[in-house]
């Protein structure tokens, strides 16, 4: 990969893992003190964070030295799947078996471990996606109102995100975006992300004061929520890529 720097430093570097070339995205952060690396939840890119003074060549060498680890991570990314009757769709952490009956109501219905959907088979995926996004918006709005109240803040504007790089974000103007796929995670995981972004309304950093604020806001086990996302987060991109 060091040849890439000499060849065309303006192009996006890649690394060969899992039989394909995966892009490497390098971010320089003001607060970073060392190199850190992770694979995108859907396996689409390798993400490296480093101090602002770091050299790109160091980041690429870092990725090369950990190629085996990256291949192991890529192997855990679920293969693309097609949504069809019998598929498993997770809703609020519960795996539901998809059932389709063209004569039934078009709006999805949850009952006894099943997700029943009517209407045309060809529009199953977009209709389920819209339903999940609608449920996500409803629940996330409640989460946001709850945590803003606990923090003594006005309720911030909320928007759904389809980002592949992060589960949530807080803009400098206070607007909060949360990944709609969290509707498929357990409630405590979804709420931990909202609490995290509300804590950023108080402390726009990751300082000890921020973490103290987050710990006071969130009623659950933050470590357990973070562990769940690290272990299961990639699965939330299937079958809705």
* Domain that includes residue 20, residue range: 2-75
In a domain, 80, yes or no: no
- What pLDDT sits at residue 44? 81
pLDDT beneath 50, residues of the chain = 2-7
Domain boundary among 28, 46, 75: 75
**Within this chain, do residues 93 and 68 fall inside the same structural domain, yes or no?**
no
**Within this chain, do residues 34 and 107 fall inside the same structural domain, yes or no?**
no
- What pLDDT sits at residue 137? 97
Domain boundary among 23, 49, 75: 75
**Within this chain, do residues 51 and 139 fall inside the same structural domain, yes or no?**
no
- What pLDDT sits at residue 156? 95
**Within this chain, do residues 208 and 95 fall inside the same structural domain, yes or no?**
yes
**Within this chain, do residues 56 and 103 fall inside the same structural domain, yes or no?**
no
Distance CA 84, CA 89 (A): 10
In a domain, 217, yes or no: yes
Domain boundary among 50, 75, 100: 75
Of 133, 130, 98, the closest CA to residue 117 belongs to 98
In a domain, 100, yes or no: yes
- What pLDDT sits at residue 241? 59
Q: What is the CATH number of the domain that holds 158?
A: 3.30.2010.10
In a domain, 82, yes or no: no
**Within this chain, do residues 112 and 164 fall inside the same structural domain, yes or no?**
yes
**Within this chain, do residues 97 and 202 fall inside the same structural domain, yes or no?**
yes
Distance CA 10, CA 18 (A): 25
- Each residue of 189-227: pLDDT tens digit? 999 999 999 999 999 988 999 999 999 999 999 999 999
Distance CA 229, CA 109 (A): 26
Distance CA 77, CA 41 (A): 7
- What pLDDT sits at residue 79? 66
- What pLDDT sits at residue 2? 46
**Within this chain, do residues 137 and 195 fall inside the same structural domain, yes or no?**
yes
**Within this chain, do residues 185 and 156 fall inside the same structural domain, yes or no?**
yes
User: What is the total count of domains within the chain?
Assistant: 2
- What pLDDT sits at residue 6? 43
Question: What Rg value do the Cα atoms of the chain yield, rounded?
Answer: 20
- What pLDDT sits at residue 93? 95
Of 137, 156, 129, 136, the closest CA to residue 145 belongs to 156
- What pLDDT sits at residue 3? 47
């Amino acid at each position: 990969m060091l040849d890439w720097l000499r060849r065309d430093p303006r192009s996006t570097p890649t690394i060969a893992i899992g039989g394909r070339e995966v892009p490497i995205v390098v971010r320089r952060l003001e607060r970073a003190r060392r190199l850190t690396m992770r694979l995108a939840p859907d396996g689409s890119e390798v993400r490296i964070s480093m101090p602002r003074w770091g050299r790109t060549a160091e980041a690429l060498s870092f990725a090369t030295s950990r190629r085996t680890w990256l291949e192991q991570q890529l192997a855990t990314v679920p293969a693309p799947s097609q949504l069809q009757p019998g598929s498993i769709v997770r809703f609020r952490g519960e795996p539901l078996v998809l059932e389709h009956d063209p004569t039934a109501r078009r709006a999805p219905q949850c009952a006894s471990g099943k997700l029943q959907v009517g209407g045309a088979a060809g529009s199953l995926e977009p209709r389920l996606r819209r339903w999940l996004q609608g449920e996500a918006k409803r629940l996330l709005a409640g989460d946001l109102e709850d945590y803003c109240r606990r923090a003594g803040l006005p309720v911030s504007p909320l928007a759904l995100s389809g980002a592949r790089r992060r589960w949530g974000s807080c803009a400098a103007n206070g607007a909060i975006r949360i990944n709609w796929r969290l509707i498929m995670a357990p409630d405590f995981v979804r709420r931990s992300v909202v609490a995290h972004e509300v804590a950023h309304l108080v402390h726009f950093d990751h300082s000890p004061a921020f973490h103290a604020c987050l710990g006071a806001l969130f009623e659950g086990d933050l470590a357990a929520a973070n562990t769940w996302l690290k272990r299961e987060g990639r699965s939330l991109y299937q079958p809705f890529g």
